[in-house]
Amino acid sequence: MTNKQWLLTSRPSAEATAGNFTLVETPVPALADGQVLVRHHYLSVDPYMRGRMSDKKSYAPPQPLNAVMIGGTVGEIVESRSPAFAAGDRVVVMGGWQQYSVVDGGARGALRKVDTSRIPIT
């Protein structure tokens, strides 16, 4: 399986442009015990992201260059090796600008289930 990821590859001097990012394709790694694979359906693009693209002193550390851009996502677990989550569970996670992410299912606060019978996944 292949993962599409947007990497921040240069720091914008004014507005961020497509030239500050690079789209790469990487293999999705096999899961270790306790991990889950999340396929992201929605990404929240928020104003704080622009500040993270800068390396100036701020309330949050800068986004590392040549790494998947940070961002909150809503998705579905497609594979699980965690007793706390099952394939098909809908979750909120800081999955970043990518199609899939591998997440530690036991990390406190890393994943939150969403009851899509009460709240639409959007």
pLDDT at residue 57 in the model: 85
Q: Map tokens 């015990």 to a residue.
A: 33
Q: What is the pLDDT of residues 42-71, one digit of tens each?
A: 999 998 899 899 998 888 899 999 999 999
**Per-residue confidence at 105, pLDDT binned at 50, 70, 90?**
very high
Tokens for 117, please give them. 């019978």
Q: What is the pLDDT of residues 65-90, one digit of tens each?
A: 999 999 999 999 999 999 999 999 99
pLDDT at residue 59 in the model: 85
Q: Closest by alpha carbon to 97, among 44, 59, 28, 38?
A: 44
